[in-house]
A and B are shown apart, each in its own frame.
Chain A
């Protein structure tokens, strides 16, 4: 019996295994990568992230995964259980740097890191003395990939960031890239901590405020955590300026030590996504294996006599087991080879979908899990058929084997129906959630908005560019702005002049021009819009949202904020800002990380990162017109015109990825199920051809013959689909837990999913049975 001989369903078996293994193994590998996230952290069990906590009077305790710059060094100095401590803070990202030879190179992220960075986040140092480099101002280390991109041999060269052109940094070392499944995968440049002051306000010694540092400590293995927490609390009691804190409205502040071991899987989004992906992966593998067994059972009609004859001639059961394992091994290897080809052809797609490369997916980290899965598949596909063959009675050597084994076949199909329906329900939920997030009213209109990142420009050139763009006939309005609405905003505390108490924290969008309201479609509900500043500069006036006005009424009893002055903790007492208008509430950030704080924005075009524009219509021609203008005015700045809606969609990339992965899983699962169903119906048609002919002779019409099959499938399909819907609903509710703003899950959607599956099954059955139902019954009876 050749494993690829006709009638053994080799094509169906291999196709099922290939699809199942490709999707299943890729997803399991992704889950395994998440489970082994941040393996580069040395002695992970004893490493803790420092997170600041604070509380205002009458408010809940808040916790942030960042601290002020001086916290980690103080803990290292004062707490005996702390073996080592480190901190880093991001500064530049997704821009270009210019080497001293004038060549420009894109990099992903540049952070300030202190000299102990590699003690906790280990990677090989390829060139240079890391401790010494990260302790010296003006020096940095770069990743191997950036070094290679620059042509290697870059140590000793200096470069400037596009957004800080006059401030050179020297490359003194190269380190091995961090793995893709780590927090530091995007880090291309590690700048020494003493360099902070060159590029930003130096808060490295701060114990309070400027809380932008990610701080970590490693404790002694025998450290008693309760004791350490007590010591930290006692230390903070000693070193924090409690009187100042109380005066500004804080009632408590502290540092929480959060274990990094397993912290990735504790994140709701990651955990839920992993559960969903693992379910999809197991569904795929399970479905593929079941399909394999289904085909084996179905092909028994044709194979039983051969097996029985071999038994009569003296074949032992063991030979059937070995034979079927051999067949399964050959099919599995073929499927794995096809999988490799598929992955090679779709490596870009895989990276887009999973955010990691194929080589990382199938690396040492995941090898053991994937090998175990393949062996399990081999055993299931080999041993079960062997068992079935070994039980075929010898008497079948002399008569036709027509045992239907329908219970087996239908049970396997039932599982496949359950799983496919379940995945379709989950897919529908994710799809609807993604669309919900993408199209939810954020309180502003961005469908015609485009923007240019102008970090590479300086001074009046930004203002000039904004005006030139505004003069284009395809552009309605422009505004220079510090940040995009969908970005995470800095926070500042608000005070009333003459009162030391900080009233509340608000999201500070810093500076934006008067065109912002029109460009983004904001609505002024009280007061007026900004007046345009006709040069590079700013005015001490601000727009606030209704939330700000309401909060001010609650905490300071101010009924109308328009015309009132307030202090913002960033600009300080010397620059009181007058509220000129209140805009209708709008949402900053995204629905994943939605900004809940009141909002303020100051009139001006300084510290501008973006020029935003409202186009008359979003067409390739209009975008090209703006792009051409930018290229003509500032050819060296490499300005890129982008659609704001794309930026918004990027905020939901994780959801989109999950949606796409489940969609692939769902399509693949449906495909395997349909292959199984086609195989089942085909074999049933073959097995029952005589019966069908008889039925036709005694008066059954084509549709009655088809209904006969449809009914036999419906008996198993309908309950299976009901179970699949229930499971799908459960998984959907689980999935929804990760979203703060979620789409409703009405029963009608699940009913439509069920109906869709029913229609697909019905279509397959009717198409498959059409031929036999149409054929002349005499032909079948003749064969008898």
Chain B
């Protein structure tokens, strides 16, 4: 599903040049649940952004489903991302002005799914995430765990092949954290590829493979 070859990412300012990724080569197969770990500043989030087509690498190749996507333009990246990749963030990143239902519906709208089908799919996913009773609430009226469930619902409502999660339990207590990890595990069990950045050894234990990063380089790959 994912193949990276010698991916480098360098951030440049007028005076400083910082290498975030120093040449990453890795592969993620369909249906895998991969955890990326490492200390702060090792390049985990940068790698996730590149995997999610939110950012382009400075060098190297990135194949997604056999297609080179490493150097696409913004518009092409957007179209490639749509419907293929779902995102779950540590800080949930829900839109405060939209209700739970509208938040979940949004990616379907951008995908051009007809209204009736959108409604049906949103209802299904809300039931599955156990948030139907909160459909008309706004994000700030929900607990952290509920918000993250909404974020996961929004990420998976388009039935993506790949879900990228950036420290999905970072803002949650252990009970809600476990619920989220159970959801991701369940999605993975249904065939969705999951790549998750985490600090938590506990969360990483839900993955089938762990990749450790240090100073922008892969230092260890562990099969669990």
Contact = CB atoms under 8 A, between A and B. Distances in A.
B93 A690 contact: yes
B74 A774 contact: yes
A596 interface: no
Interface stretch (B79-87, B183-191, B210-218): B79-87
A700 B110 contact: yes
B55 A691 contact: no
B75 A781 contact: no
A704 interface: yes
Nearest to B92: A694
A435 interface: no
Nearest to B52: A697
A94 B55 CA distance: 76
Nearest to B53: A697
Nearest to B80: A699
A342 B93 CA distance: 50
Contacts of B123: none
Main secondary structure of the interface of B (DSSP, over half): mixed
A776 B83 contact: no
Nearest to A774: B74
B54 A698 contact: no
A624 B54 CA distance: 71
A715 interface: no
Interface string A663-694: 00000000000000000000000000011011
Nearest to B158: A699
A776 B78 CA distance: 11
A777 interface: yes
A701 interface: yes
B149 interface: no
A700 B107 CA distance: 8
Contact of A691 (B87, B91, B97): B97
With most chain B CB atoms within 10 A of its CB, the pick from A404, A693, A698 is A698
A702 B89 contact: no
Given A699-B83, A700-B110, A694 B78 contact: no
Size bin of chain B's contact surface: 20 to 34
A781 B89 contact: yes
A699 B95 contact: no
Contact of A701 (B55, B78, B97): B78
Contacts of B79: 701
Interface string A621-647: 000000000000000000000000000
A697 B106 CA distance: 11
A784 interface: yes
Interface string B38-59: 0000000000010010110000
B110 A698 contact: yes
Interface of A: 402, 404, 690-691, 693-702, 704, 774, 776-778, 781, 784
Interface of B: 49, 52, 54-55, 74-75, 78-79, 81-83, 87, 89, 91, 93-97, 106-107, 110-111, 154
18 contacts: A402-B96, A691-B96, A693-B93, A694-B93, A695-B95, A696-B78, A697-B54, A697-B93, A699-B78, A699-B83, A700-B110, A701-B78, A701-B110, A702-B78, A704-B110, A778-B54, A778-B55, A781-B93
Given A698-B106, A776-B74, 12 more contacts: A693-B93, A694-B93, A697-B52, A697-B54, A699-B82, A699-B110, A700-B78, A701-B75, A702-B74, A702-B78, A778-B49, A784-B91
